[in-house]
Amino acid sequence: MNDILSRRKLKAEIFRIIATISTWSSIIILIILLGNIAWDGLSKVNWTFLNNFPSRFPHKAGIKAAIWGSIWMLALVAIIAVPIGVSAAIYLEEYAKKNKLSRFIEINIANLAGVPSIIYGILGLTIFVRFFQLDRSLLAGSLTMSLLILPVIIMAAREAIKAVPKSIRLGAFAVGATRWQTIQSHVLPAATPGIFTGVILAMSRAIGETAPLIMIGALTYVAFVPENINDPFTTLPIQIYNWVSRPQVEFHHLAAAGIIVLLVVLLTMNAAAILIRNRSLKKYKW
Amino acid sequence: MNNKIIIEAKNLTLRYGKHPAIRDCNIQILKNKVTAIIGPSGCGKSTLLRTFNRMNDFIDNFNIEGEVLFEGKVINHSDMDPVEIRKRIGMVFQKPNPFPKSIFDNIIWGPKINGFIGNQQELVENCLIDAGLFDEVKDRLNSSAMELSGGQQQRLCIARAIAMKPEVILMDEPASALDPKATMKIEELIKKLKKSYTIIIVTHNMQQAARISDNTAFLYEGELIEYGKTNSIFTKPDKQQTEDYITGRFG
């Protein structure tokens, strides 16, 4: 009897140790990685680096083109993907009848969110670059990236819309509101913080994606700031990838500096998302 | 019962999918009276109530046979705009459901979207006075309705319904989520409101029905068993089932 009990306790203890090691090992690896990058790149992050175009001389090379490319792309992606994604979510949650077709669409959107990004790159290459002849422009890249994050936005927006209690909608209908008045005045305002959080997280995915852009041919030497949506472009992760793939150690340090910039941008965006979520939790206690 | 009929159901059968929730119901609701619909859980009380302002439209595969007439006009056909009906037949729900906005906005929203162009402040204050809430909230009309207590929220929802100047107010167990004190306030309010409105109230609290209603309908398993003056239903019901229910033998 005592024997069994002690073995059970032993098992519990072993499991606790395994779980603890799993948690801490990933955190430690992350710290080592970040430390390594900081060690390599921190000294390179300065105004010259931020304000220079890429160059074959490491001491002159900078990420101005990449920063502006990323900003352009994010803005375009926001303009393209957010309205479509939010409208689709509203349609699925508020208008579409719950039948086999809508379930089929829902499942497929969830699947699309899990498709590897390189596939979107191939799609973008075929449709936007070749078929629509957009070439390796900002527009082609942004459209491809929009496709990539649309499922994420739709799912996040749907969750946010679904979280608005049904009783609020019924209350609005009961005073003679139309479907759209109800959505506009009650559902969307209450769902906006959630939608916003989802959008920011989707955008931070877009800013970090490299594969689809390489696929559509954005991996080129770009030594200018794009001026319109038909210009070729580069983005932060592509510039980093470019530097990492060079043999010289100096460029690796530049890559580390680029990673630091990208991380700062990403963490800022995620922090904003968390902040918005927490504030809305206080405002809407259903 | 020779009063004016405001809502009438004729041979009404309501189904969720194939399952009938109400079977062949005929009922006449009288104007400026409080009509209580009583019966055990799942007997179809709320379903019946929601057909009066087309709230069942939002339920997939709900279907309806027979007719519902509002002031002599059939309202359950698809060519009748449910929005128009809901302007004239307001509703108060089981759980208070104020909008997460200010007290003021809660009341003014309905009239505003329906083109109200009068004095907003006056309308809000009058509705709050009629709903017996004004004294409690007059200093904080712009604070959030979510900060009110449950009973206050429910009276706000009644004020919100009144603001539309409806002819009928449907109430779906309006006091079931409230404590006895708040319930008493709601009941007093209902008695007061019947001067200006027709009220149909669903309740499974029989004492409540006896206290506040003029007429009572007893539903059991989707059938209207008995309908008549509340006094006679509770003192000498015609049907055995009604007697069994009101004396607490089942339900």
Measured distance between the N- and C-terminal CA atoms of chain A, rounded to whole angstroms? 50
CA atoms of B136 and A26, how far apart (whole Å): 56
Radius of gyration of chain A (CA): 24
CB-based contact (8 Å) between B146 and chain A? Answer: yes
Name chain A contacts of B60, Cβ cutoff 8 Å.
Answer: 97-99
Please tell me the pTM assigned to this model.
0.83
- CB contacts, 8 Å: A168 with chain B: 97, 99-100
Residue position matching structure tokens 């799609």: A123
Kindly state whether residue B107 falls inside one of the protein's structural domains.
no
Residue B211 lies inside a defined structural domain of this protein: yes
* 3-state SS assignment for residue B123: helix
> How is chain B split among helix, strand and coil, in percent rounded to 5?
35, 25, 35
**For residues A208 and A235, is the Cβ–Cβ distance under 8 A?**
no
Assign residue A275 a region: left if phi > 0, alpha if psi is -120 to 50, beta otherwise? Answer: alpha
User: Nearest CA to CA, how far is A227 from chain B (Å)?
Assistant: 44
Identify from B109, B116, B144, B165 which residue to disrupt to test chain A contact, counting A C-beta atoms within 10 A and taking the largest count. B109
Which chain A residues are closer than 8 Å to B83 by Cβ?
Answer: 176-178
Tell me the count of A-B CB pairs closer than 8 A. 64
Provide the pLDDT for residue B172. 94
Residues in chain B with CB shorter than 8 Å from the CB of A94 are: none
Provide the sign of the torsion angle of the four alpha carbons B191, B193, B199, B202, taken in this order.
negative
| Chain A residues within 8 A of B86 when measuring between CB atoms | 173-176
pLDDT for res A286:
56
* CB-based contact B151:B182 (threshold 8 Å): yes
Mean pLDDT, range A153-170, rounded to an integer: 94
**How many domains are there within chain B?**
1
Q: Is B179 on the interface with A (CB under 8 A)?
A: no
Query: Hey, is the C-beta of A173 within 8 angstroms of any chain B C-beta?
Result: yes
The answer to whether the beta carbons of residues B133 and B193 sit under 8 Å apart is: no
Residues of B in contact with A165 (CB under 8 A): 97
Q: Is B53's Cβ below 8 Å from some Cβ in A?
A: yes
Helix or strand run (H / E) with residue B82? helix B82-88
- Tell me the residue range of the domain where B199 lies: 5-98+168-246
- Does A152 score more than 80 pLDDT? yes
Give the neighbor-by-neighbor strand order of the sheet with B5-16. B19-30, B5-16, B62-70, B73-74
Tell if the CB–CB gap between B99 and A175 is shorter than 8 Å: no
Directed axis angle between helix A138-162 and helix A188-208, to 10°? 140
Tally Cβ neighbours within 10 Å of residue A53. 17
Q: How many CB atoms lie within 10 A of CB B118?
A: 8
Mutation site for B-interface testing, chosen from A175, A186, A187, A188 by largest number of B Cβ within 10 Å: A175
A185 touches chain B (CB under 8 A): yes
Interchain CB distance below 8 Å, A174 and B161: yes
- Cβ of A247 under 8 Å from any chain B Cβ? no
Inside any domain, residue B120: no
Q: What pLDDT is attached to residue B1?
A: 45
- Put simply, whether A171 touches B (Cβ < 8 Å) is yes
Query: What residues have CB less than 8 Å from A195, skipping those under 6 apart?
Result: A86, A89, A156, A157, A160, A161
Within a domain: residue B131? no
Q: Reply yes or no on whether the pLDDT at A112 is more than 60.
A: yes
Among partner residues A97, A167, A185, which is closest to B97 by beta-carbon distance? A167
pLDDT in tens, A65-105: 888 889 999 999 999 999 999 999 999 999 988 888 989 99
Q: Which residues of chain B does A285 touch, with a Cβ-Cβ cutoff of 8 Å? A: 146
SS3 A158: helix
B132 is a domain residue: no
Cβ of A175 and B93 within 8 Å? no
- Residue A86 makes CB contacts below 8 A (sequence gap 6+) with A153, A157, A195
Q: What confidence score (pLDDT) does residue A222 get? A: 81
**B159 close contact with A: CB closer than 8 A:** no
* Closest residue of chain A to B53, computed from CA coordinates: A174
Q: Evaluate whether residue B137 is within a structural domain.
A: no
CB contact under 8 A, A190 and B100: yes
The CATH number for B12's domain is: 3.40.50.300
With pLDDT > 90 as the criterion, what percentage of chain A qualifies? 54
Please say whether the beta carbons of B30 and B54 come within 8 A: no
Q: Is residue B179 part of a domain?
A: yes
Q: Is B121 inside any structural domain? A: no
Judged by CB atoms within 8 Å, which residues 88-117 of A form the interface with B?
97-99
Average pLDDT over residues A251-261: 91
B98 Cα to chain A: minimum distance (Å): 7
Q: CA-nearest residue of chain B to A180?
A: B113
Q: Tell me what the mean pLDDT of segment A262-273 comes to.
A: 89
Nearest to A174 among B86, B98, B100 (CB): B86
pLDDT in tens, chain B (251 residues): 457 899 999 999 999 988 889 999 999 999 999 999 999 988 889 999 999 999 988 888 888 999 999 998 999 888 889 999 999 999 999 999 999 999 999 999 999 999 899 999 999 999 999 999 999 999 999 999 999 999 999 999 999 999 999 999 999 999 988 899 889 989 999 999 988 999 999 998 889 999 999 999 999 999 999 999 999 999 999 999 899 888 887 76
Residue A166's closest CA among B202, B93, B161? B93
The pLDDT of residue A1: 60
pLDDT band of residue A285 (cuts 50, 70, 90) is low
Query: Which of B169, B237, B155, B251 lies closest to B206 in space, CA to CA?
Result: B251
Closest Cα in chain B, distance from residue A108 (Å): 23
Chain A interface mutation, best of B50, B52, B80, B83, highest count of A Cβ atoms under 10 Å? B83
Confidence of residue A131 (pLDDT cuts 50, 70, 90): very high
**Residues of chain B positioned with their CB less than 8 A from the CB of A171:** 93, 97-99, 157, 160
A283 interfaces chain B, CB cutoff of 8 Å: yes
A184 touches B: beta carbon within 8 Å: no
Q: Please, are residues B26 and B9 in contact by the beta-carbon 8 Å criterion?
A: yes
Test B60 with A97 for CB contact under 8 angstroms.
yes
A97 contacts in chain B (CB < 8 Å): 60
How many whole angstroms separate alpha carbon B51 and alpha carbon A172? 17
ipTM of the complex: 0.90
Most confident of A220-234, A239-253, B143-157: B143-157
